[in-house]
């Protein structure tokens, strides 16, 4: 009996900053390729889906392109941008918001129990642009599996997912491998490695090393030796430009019996919340439960803040307050901001745009702005990337830049909506260290959204858990 051909064979494969000496992917294999931000992981998925051609060596696929699926933040971003492009044309009616979730899936598979397993049945008629980041991630997985992909390449698939969905997704991936597919996880955190993974590789500085065949324990030990542990240097945080003592209102944010609904569906129902100065607040909840919407009521990105009882920095929304005066005291990192930051500019310009609350830099920064911007780039480990084009960075590196952008003006309220999404374990530790340093300095008040229990820090004095409303 002849052995089935591997899905992929790579030998001395070199291309644009990536070298893979030898790698074979076979049916019924679960792979973890671990690497830090900027290590070259992103080039691996581009190579496997044919977006990157090898300059040397061999890269041979025994699968059709239709049998290979890529699940990544970059693919989510591309879909999001396409939906906005459709909305800006006459291709769809004015009363439509773009493509519905059900239209992404095979029409003959809409009764599949997998849709229920990933808790997406109630969202089939929603438009793609209405989905949370976690929900759009689940949709990509559903699309790949319901279209019977043989090879799934998943770049940090568990980021932005609630714990119940992570468990369901792992069960789904494990079942797909057992049924004959192969799943390749490109991971930045070793804590995310699931039990069904039996093959391991490590990538650093664009070179991929496949762990020697053997037991799972032996391969994990080799991965530990290869990856080691990089020391994290926490640089000095730049000086504050605004003193907390100058803030007189009793609450940073106050919401009273707020309701938000879209198309007849209530996303938030009777939410009341008060955040006092230095009352660091953690927000958790299932995917689609309204966490980002809650933050949007506070930041003003959800326009229904004006029809609700919402006060920020002592000013009632809609009472004639200056939008820019409020934004001056707000720092923001969110998935929505990341999706919308498509303006082509260099990294230092992105960071300095935080002083002006703009996407892109349209005002001339002062020498002080540039100095503080460079200091924050150094603080997030990106000191040498100031002149690099923002769009050329990996997703995780872009996230670090946006974190620096939020911090430059030392905001009274720092709103962090899953800020560590896409970050490797070293950079996650760096950002969590920043948060502890901010608490110690008693300046900014933190409003933090996370699904990861290892990010529920002792500094949080208030915990708001939102439940999904169907």
For 241-268, what is each residue's pLDDT tens digit? 555 666 778 999 999 999 999 877 888 9
User: What is the third-level CATH fold of 8-227?
Assistant: Rossmann fold (3.40.50)
- What is 244-466's CATH number? 3.40.50.300
- pLDDT (0 to 100) of residue 377: 92
H or E element: which one contains 210? strand 207-210
pLDDT at 409 over 70: yes
Residue 90 has pLDDT above 60, yes or no: no
Three-state secondary-structure class, residue 205: coil
Report DSSP state, residue 240.
P
pLDDT in tens, 92-109: 555 567 899 999 999 999
H or E segment to which residue 283 belongs? strand 281-285
Has residue 130 got a pLDDT over 60?
A: yes
Structure confidence by residue, pLDDT tens digits, 45-88:
999 999 988 999 999 899 999 999 999 988 888 888 888 777 66
The torsion of the CA quartet 206, 208, 209, 214, rounded to 10 degrees, works out to 150
Q: What is the mean pLDDT of residues 335-358?
A: 92
Instruction: Give per-residue pLDDT as tens, 108-128.
Output: 999 999 999 999 999 999 989
pLDDT at 438: 83
Residues 6+ apart with CB under 8 A from 226: 202, 204, 209, 211
Residue 172: pLDDT above 70? yes
Q: Where are the domains of the chain?
A: 8-227, 244-466
Residue 44 has pLDDT above 60, yes or no: yes
Whether residue 326 has pLDDT greater than 90: no
Q: Average pLDDT in the 186-198 region? A: 94
C-alpha 227, offset from chain centre: 23
């Amino acid at each position: 009996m002849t052995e089935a051909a591997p899905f992929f064979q790579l030998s001395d494969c070199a291309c644009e900053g990536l070298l893979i000496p030898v790698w074979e992917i076979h049916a019924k294999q679960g792979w973890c390729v671990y690497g830090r931000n900027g290590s070259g992981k992103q080039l691996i998925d581009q190579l496997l889906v044919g977006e990157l051609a090898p300059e040397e060596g061999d890269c041979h696929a025994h699968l059709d392109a239709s049998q290979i699926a890529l699940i990544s933040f970059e693919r989510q971003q591309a879909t999001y941008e396409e939906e906005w492009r459709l909305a800006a044309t006459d291709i769809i009616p004015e009363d439509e918001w773009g493509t519905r979730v059900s239209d992404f899936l095979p029409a003959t598979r809409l009764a599949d129990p997998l849709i229920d397993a990933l808790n997406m049945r109630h969202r089939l008629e929603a438009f793609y642009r209405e989905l949370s980041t976690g929900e759009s991630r689940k949709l990509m997985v559903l699309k790949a599996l319901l279209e019977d992909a043989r090879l799934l390449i998943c770049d940090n698939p568990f980021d932005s997912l609630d714990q119940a969905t992570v468990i369901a997704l792992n069960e789904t991936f494990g079942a797909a491998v057992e049924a004959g597919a192969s799943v390749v996880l490109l991971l930045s955190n070793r804590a995310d490695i699931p039990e069904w993974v039996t093959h391991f590789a490590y990538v650093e500085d664009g070179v991929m090393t496949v762990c020697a065949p053997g037991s799972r324990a032996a391969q994990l030990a080799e991965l530990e030796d290869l990856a080691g542990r990089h020391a994290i240097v926490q640089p000095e945080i730049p000086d504050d430009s605004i003193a907390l003592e100058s803030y007189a209102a009793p609450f940073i944010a106050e919401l009273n019996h707020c309701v938000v609904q879209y198309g007849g569906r209530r996303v938030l129902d009777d939410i009341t919340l008060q955040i006092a100065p230095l009352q660091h607040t953690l927000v958790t909840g299932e995917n689609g439960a309204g966490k980002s919407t809650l933050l949007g009521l506070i930041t003003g990105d959800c326009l229904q803040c004006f029809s609700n009882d919402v006060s920020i920095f002592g000013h009632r929304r809609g009472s004639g307050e200056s939008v820019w005066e409020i934004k001056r005291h707000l720092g923001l990192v969110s998935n929505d901001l990341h999706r919308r930051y498509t303006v082509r500019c260099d990294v230092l310009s992105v960071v300095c745009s935080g002083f002006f609350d703009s996407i892109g830099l349209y005002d001339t920064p002062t020498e002080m702005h540039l100095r503080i911007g460079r200091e924050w780039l150094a603080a997030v480990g990106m000191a040498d990337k100031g002149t690099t084009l923002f769009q050329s960075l990996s997703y995780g590196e872009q996230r670090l830049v946006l974190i620096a952008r939020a911090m430059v003006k030392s905001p009274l309220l720092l709103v962090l909506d899953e800020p560590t999404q896409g970050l490797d374990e070293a950079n996650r530790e760096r950002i969590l260290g920043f948060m502890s340093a901010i608490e110690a300095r008693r300046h900014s008040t933190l409003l933090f959204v996370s699904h990861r229990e290892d990010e529920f820090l002792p500094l949080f004095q208030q915990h708001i858990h939102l439940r999904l409303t169907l």
